[in-house]
Structure 1
Amino acid sequence: MAKDDKDKAAEEAPKGSKKKLIMILAIVLVALVGGGAGGYFMFAPKPAAAEEKLVAGIVVPLDAVTINLADGHYLKLKMTLQATDKAAEAPDGSKALDAAISLFSNMDAKELLTNEGREKYKKQLKDKVVEAYTVDKEKEIMDVYYTTFVIQ
């Protein structure tokens, strides 16, 4: 009988070591996957939209300006600036008007007569104006609205 007990013990020893090995490998795998996922979420770059929450401030209407277009046409443009709460005071509109004049001067009137063209250039104007009124990475203007847009 002693011989049978030794044989059983010899057979059970490898089975026990295999179970321990499988358990250790499973724990290591879970730790690696968990650590990798945690590191990804911790150090992954945040989307720009989530970082930038602008709060509307005052609305600043600007005087109308007449801009020469190509072929003897002109654009009468009046716009309003939507300031953010970061603006210490009502922004002076000179930078915005300068950006509009620079963008629209000598442009073909046909480009501005369509809704698509008008919106395309409005986005470009907004980008220029927001950049012009950004101080120490704080945006003071968040949007531009056309209140008059007449081409003759």
Structure 2
Amino acid sequence: MAKDAKPEEGAETPPKKSKKLLIIILAAVLVLVLAGGGAAFFLLKKSDHAEDEEAAEEIAKPAKKDKKKKDKEAPPVFVNLEPFTVNLVPETGDQYLQVVLSLEMEDSTGEPDLKAKMPKVRNNITLLLSSKKASELMPKEGKEKLADALKVEINSVIEPPVKNKKGENVAPEGPVKSVLFTSFIIQ
């Protein structure tokens, strides 16, 4: 028993070395884990930020395209005018023209200008219609020419023509895109 009671000197030193070695290994592993975790955090944070920027750019781009599409796909704005009844230039006796017009506008911003100048627009349309002959208006081409002339006349009232460098009157494009006949009767 005496042998069991004596601790051996050699037995004590190896456990001290193994404890120090174990602590050093654990410290090294802990440093590596923390360094790896920190690096991963910064890399993921940076890539998330880059993805957020890309997502923001992608969101902004379709918004611009949507605006362009909305402009192109915007439903047309139509303004209906009251009927016009005029005497035509006599060819074979008295002839009358009754016409109902609908104006296709570029957008709704031109409508207030049109309504503000409606008395002058109606006067100029009446004068233009009453200067025509029934034979001019009967064929399809005559109606198309009349529609173009009405469009130019209405746009010139809304946006008066300006003179260019040569002194010629140039009619700017007005808000009226086309003139449509909803009723066209010659008697």
Whether these two folds match at TM > 0.5 is: yes
Structure 2 unaligned regions, length at least 5:
1-25, 103-113, 160-174
SS at match of 1:133: helix
Once the 2 structures are TM-superposed, how far is the Cα of residue 25 of structure 1 from its aligned partner?
A: 0.8
Are the equivalent residues in 1 in contact too, given 2:98–2:186 (CA < 8 A)? no
Letter aligned with residue 104 of structure 1: E
Q: How many residues align?
A: 127
Matched residue, 1:80: 98
Structure 1 unaligned regions, length at least 5:
68-73, 113-117
Once the 2 structures are TM-superposed, how far is the Cα of residue 124 of structure 1 from its aligned partner?
A: 3.4
SS at match of 1:58: coil
TM-score scaled by structure 1? 0.57
Matched residue, 2:42: 17
1:126 aligns with 2:147: yes
Map 1:1-150; keep pairs closer than 5 Å.
1-41=26-66, 46-47=71-72, 50=75, 52-54=77-79, 56-65=80-89, 78-82=96-100, 86=115, 87-88=118-119, 90-91=122-123, 93-98=126-131, 100=132, 104=136, 112=139, 118=140, 121-134=142-155, 135-137=157-159, 143-144=180-181, 145-148=183-186
TM-score scaled by structure 2? 0.48
Aligned-residue RMSD, C-alpha: 4.1
Hey, which of these two has a bigger chunk of helix by percent?
2
Give me the identity figure in percent. Answer: 9
Matched residue, 2:17: none
Hey, which of these two has a bigger chunk of strand by percent?
1
Stretch moving more, 124-133 or 81-90: 81-90
